[in-house]
Amino acid sequence: MKVPPIHHIRYGNVESSIWENLTQGGGAFYNVTYAKPYKDGDEWKTSQNFGMGDLLELSKVADHAHT
């Protein structure tokens, strides 16, 4: 069973997903992934590479994820 992220953030063409990981002791820790969706023909794909034009949006997504 695939567990979905607990929160999703998007600014422009950059997005992040926040994942909750539960420990055996009942605690939790969180990880964040970043992606940039793009269309290749008729198919949507994602990349984890960001260009200079993506950095402001990436920083906003990271700031929001931190908050």
Structure confidence by residue, pLDDT tens digits, 16-25: 999 999 999 9
16 located within any domain? yes
- Please give the C-alpha separations between residue 13 and each of 24, 47, 61, in angstroms, as whole numbers: 36, 11, 10
52 located within any domain? yes
SS3 call for 37? strand
Percentage of the chain lying above the pLDDT 70 cut: 100
- Give the domain range for residue 45: 7-66
32 located within any domain? yes
Mean pLDDT score of the chain? 95
1 located within any domain? no
Number of structural domains (the chain) is 1
15 located within any domain? yes
2 located within any domain? no
